Structure 1
Amino acid sequence: MWLFVLAAFCILFSHVVPETFTVSTSEGLVSVRLGRVANIPCWLTPSQNAEGLEVRWYRPNFFDSPVLLYLERQIQESSQLPQYAGRTSLGLREAKSEGLKEGDVTLKLVNVTLKDQGPYICYVSSDQSYESATVSLTVNVLGSPPLLSAVRTENGSVNVSCMSHGWQPRPRLKWSDGTRTLQPGSTRFGGGAQDLESIHSWLLTNSTSSPWVSCSLSLPEGDEWEGRVDLQNLPEVQANSSGSLLTAVIILILLLVIAAVVIGVLYRKRDLPEEGTKTENTQLLSSTENMEGSLKTEDLEAMRQAGVDVSLDHQTAPACLTVSANGKTVRDRNNYVFAPGEQCYILGKPGFIPGRCAYWEVGLGDDKVGIKESWWVGVACGSFSRQEEVKPCNGFWFLSLDRENGLRLNMTPDIKLPALPRPQTLGVYLDYDKGELSFISVEDMRRIVTVATVFTGEVFPLFNPGIGDRAPMRILDVVTQNECLNVPDMIEDPKSTTPTMNTFPPDSKHPNNETSKTNHSTVP
């Protein structure tokens, strides 16, 4: 009997909270990328069970409308601030934490938005006392890819300009010619929409020292954009040109401002360029209110309503590729000796014309043989020429992966995408009339990027399996419904923060079904 009473007494007092405790938080700021999950740490000292306490997270001046309220051993939602509904819970300060049992009262906040940044107050109360502490959350935003422009000056040097917008905090800037870091002539920051940072930098360089110059912009945690500009094919300045370097710089800045306005107008109108011209431009159209690239299940299912039975066209296969009899699998040929710069891409079928939407999926490896490390997936115009560079101005739009550079878009210059896990299954969604081409990482329900353009003529699926991977590239079976209905708008959604690239179409050409080799490959 006495043993029973003693045991009950010990159990009772093991859950009693000491009369005094302190609330501790991280020193400095808690930083998180837009759209990600934030764990804002808070804990009791000395460590003790907090299951029977009141835990209240709130913003300054909103004690009665908390971000999260834990009371009477459960989360209370009736008085919660509406903008936090469904996004908060008690998290863990570290992976090995036991949560409330050891006094860990960390706030977990998902789908972080810009409006979430600022101070948070961690308030813990018992019958005997209460304590609180304040911690601040900062939200980092990856801005637009750099827009580069180059102009040759009278003295033979080259003025290169780099512009970008939509950053938080200010990005780190690095100019490089591939062998050394270059010092900019000037760098200016300015405010923009939602108080995000814009940047404009320029430098003078000599085109004989390097064939290209790159401008890299990065956030503190490492995510970055990089753009390159070719210095070898710039028009020469006429001998009778007048004006100083200052004039050239002013003109360059004015041209960039005008270009930004024109790009915006062209994006809205999506007019075709004049016949006989060859133009290409890029612009990142990203807002900053939602989880980066995330897709709802119903959105992916809506895309799959446009499912098409895609297969490889054997007639377009070069000698460096091995294609299965059913046209569903392709890989590089064993022991094949590549010519310098030779590319190994193949078209798929059917082709797509105005009025069509299409969705197909590409398998890029599995857990047994590993995930592929190099590939191209996209579309190409039926009027393309294998003698031309694989750029949008020549009828090519694709996403690529290689071992050195990660994910890239074949823009001019190439656009390097932020570091993301390599996709195992890549979904491709094409809306011909809207001029949209989207790439989706199916496993993690993430839209990687959307290209906005104007297609002309018939376009076909494009595949390049890369070199040296154990895994082949496979076209997966999808339900063929071929309906262009209820598909989420990829471009106009103001809550999407996935990169959206704007390009302009190639001029029309006669079909050319040659299988001759080209000499401009990064992934053969």
Structure 2
Amino acid sequence: MLWIIIVLLVNLLLETSVSLTVVVPPDPIVAHVGSTVTLPCWISPPENAGALEIRWYRQDQFNNPVLLYNHGKIQDIKECYRKRSSLALRSDQSGGLKDGDVSLRLEKLTFQDEGPFHCYVSGEHLYDSKVVVLKITDSSGPWKAISLSLIVLICVLPGLIGLILYKYRHKRTGHEEKTMKELENRVVGDTNIEELRKHAVEITIDREHLHPDLRVSDNCKISEEYKPTREGFPFELCAFGAQRFTSGRHYWEVELKQANTPPKNFWIIGVVKHGNFTTKDRSALTASAGFWFLCSDGPRGFYTNTDQSVKLSLTPRPERLGVLLDYDHGQLSFYNVTERKHLLTICSRFSGSVVPLFSPGAGDESTIKILDLPKPAEPAEPSQPLLSNTAAVESAVELVY
């Protein structure tokens, strides 16, 4: 019996003493638009990576990787990187996978490729991950004006430009969990709101599946009768759009500030797979479970519900939020309509029908109001402003605390 215990202790000691270390360059990798770049990443000390899982991913997209290698072959590539990404040698002297070289090659670079790329390597019991930062330049001159036309291309957070602050914590309990502690969102340039409104749709509320603590009046205003507790944000307090989307682009706006009141502090706005219903458990409301939304949780700030949640600093606080669902390209984008700024884009893979999702939260008396946005007529003169205070007809739906 004693020798069995000794063997078990030795095996445990060996398991916990062996480590897998991923190494990346300390400085950002700089490349030009349209060029090809290799993001170096390797295992130290060298070991054969052919039997390991190699996962490259962006920001909060662990489950939607730029490239996934497993079981000896490439298994998956994110849609906007197909035909552009592959595993490559970091140098002419590299021995490739058999020497632990797991570097990523990217072709036809765009400005939306700028930012951190996560290099994640795991075995049966061990794993490690590091971040490679890619900086994109334009060899033809200043690119600020060009970036305005690229603001809605396929990639995560296409409005992010400049310095990205991040703190990284990595845990694994049977699956990968990752939290981006802080992400500073900076946006340059205006968004053409009138162009977005060409995809405007009328949103009505599905009364059959309305939360019992919400009521709908004859004029489609929704009031909240929920009595808040100290248990945190009431994620179950939601209304669903009656419209089901399975393709195309669809845009709507939500008013978050009424006259003589401050902007609303508590709300959820996004989309959900039809047939899914909210619960009190925030951990169950993830993208992989069919929920995609932006949440404003008062003093706790703004964050996405993606599988690896991203916390955002949105200044100023949005007074009117625009939502663009691009089903075919797997994008859900949010805009500060008042400031004409793109805030963020969540990339995912939609399947089946998805419907709009709204929650007034609990904790303030301000309302959220779903606006009726008829598609605008062609402007009579090119000099007309793209955004005016009278562009949106008053609400079809209002959620009130």
Normalising by structure 2, report the TM-score.
Answer: 0.51
Q: Which residue of structure 1 aligns with residue 316 of structure 2? A: 421
1:300 aligns with 2:227: no
- 2:270 aligned with 1:378, yes or no? yes
How many residues are paired up?
Answer: 251
Q: Secondary structure at the match of 1:475?
A: strand
Q: CA deviation at 1:373?
A: 1.1
- The match for 1:487 is none
Cα distance in 1 for partners of 2:246, 2:320 equals: 25
Q: 1:348–1:429: structure 2 CA closer, same or farther, 3 Å change rule?
A: same
The alpha-carbon distance between structure 1 residues 348 and 267, as it changes in their structure 2 partners (threshold 3 A), is: same
- What whole-Å deviation, never above 9, does each CA across 1:146-199 have from its counterpart, x for those lacking one? xxxxxx99756998999xxxxxxxxxxxxxxxxxxxxxxx88513313499x99
C-alpha change, 1:161 and 1:420, in structure 2 (3 Å) is: farther
Identify the structure with bigger relative contact order (alpha carbons < 8 Å, sequence gap 6+). 2
Cα distance change, pair 386–251 in 1 and its aligned pair in 2 (3 A): farther
- Please identify, of 261-270 and 440-449, the stretch whose mean Cα deviation from structure 2 is larger: 261-270
Specify the SS of the correspondent of 1:461: strand
Structure 1 Cα separation of the partners of residues 370 and 274 of structure 2: 20
Which structure has the greater CA radius of gyration? 1
1:32-431 equivalences in 2 (<5 Å) = 155=15, 189-194=26-31, 255-257=54-56, 260-262=66-68, 265-268=77-80, 285-287=112-114, 289-290=143-144, 292=159, 293-294=187-188, 296=190, 299-331=192-224, 333-335=225-227, 343=235, 344-354=237-247, 356-366=248-258, 368-386=260-278, 389-431=284-326
- Conserved in 1, the CA contact under 8 Å of 2:206 and 2:239? yes
1:364-423 residue CA offsets vs partner (Å, 9 max, x unmatched) = 123511111121100111132546811111111111111243221111221112442210
Question: CA offset at residue 446 of structure 1?
Answer: 0.3
The residue aligned with 1:39 is none
Pick closer, same or farther for the CA change 1:159–1:337 going to 2, 3 Å.
farther
1:446 aligned residue: 341
> Does the CA-based 8 Å contact 1:365-1:424 persist in structure 2?
yes
Q: Take 2:293 and 2:189, find their aligned partners in 1: how far apart are those partners?
A: 21
Corresponding residue SS for 1:302: helix
Aligned-partner residue type, residue 255 of structure 1: I
CA contact (8 A) 1:428 1:439 kept: yes
- Contact kept, 8 Å, 1:323 with 1:329, in 2: the verdict is yes
Mark the CA change 1:434 to 1:255 in structure 2 (over 3 Å): closer, same or farther.
Answer: closer
- Alpha carbons of 1:338 and 1:347: their partners in 2 closer, same or farther (altered >3 Å)? farther
Change (3 A) 1:338 1:404: closer
In 2, Cα distance between equivalents of 1:458 and 1:160: 42
RMSD: 4.5
- CA offset digits 1:305-351 (Å, max 9, x no partner): 111111222222223334443334444x2535587885212211212
Tell me the distance in 2 between the aligned counterparts of 1:158 and 1:340. 41
Residues in 1 aligned to 2:21 and 2:364: alpha-carbon distance in whole angstroms: 38
User: 1:392·1:410 contact (CA, 8 Å) conserved in 2?
Assistant: yes
2:219 and 2:18 map into 1 onto residues whose CA distance is 52
Q: Using the alignment, how far apart are the partners of 1:417 and 1:339 within structure 2?
A: 23
Name structure 2 gaps, 5 residues minimum: 1-11, 58-64, 69-74, 84-110, 115-135, 137-142, 148-158, 160-186, 378-400
| CA shift in 2, pair 1:154/1:417, >3 Å | farther
Query: Which residue is 2:364 aligned to?
Result: 469
Unaligned runs of 5+ in 1: 1-151, 163-185, 203-244, 272-283, 483-523
Match of 2:305, as an amino acid? N
SS at match of 2:212: coil
* Identity across the alignment (%): 25
**Cα gap change, 1:437 to 1:251, in 2 (>3 Å):** same
1:208-258: per-residue Cα shift (whole Å, max 9, x none)?
xxxxxxxxxxxxxxxxxxxxxxxxxxxxxxxxxxxxx97899799962459
Instruction: Tell me the CA shift for residue 460 of structure 1.
Output: 0.5
